[in-house]
Amino acid sequence: MGTINCSVQACFYNVNEICGAHILNIGGSDALLTESTCCETFLKQSKYSNLADQDVEPGNTDVIFCSVNTCAYHEKNHCTLPEIEVGSLRDAETYTDTDCLSFERE
């Protein structure tokens, strides 16, 4: 599938602003605002640097699971967009600090 652009620099899976996670889980059921969505796949880089032997290849995302049932692109717990953008309005400490910037309210 398409590339997941991501500006969350603190994430283990972020390689030059492209996501390297195979499966993305976007959360935030009943969200009315972008800030109420999040990327549940986020792993704080500084806490998981001991996973360094795990291969993280940017652009390897196979599927986006999404529970944001209020989004125009949501269908059967998946995202129908070929690519999305993930970001954070503040320094991300936990996954709740991240947002799906492609969210569009239905």
Site residues for ligand SF4 per CB under 6 A: 26, 37, 64, 66, 68, 71, 73-74, 79, 81, 84, 100, 102-103
Q: How far is the CB of 28 from ligand SF4 (least distance, A)?
A: 7
The structure tokens listed for 40 are 């549940």
DSSP state of 92: -
Q: How far is the CB of 88 from ligand SF4 (least distance, A)?
A: 14
The structure tokens listed for 91 are 């320094």
DSSP state of 82: S
Beta bridge partners of 99: 87
Beta carbon nearer to ligand SF4, 6 or 10: 6
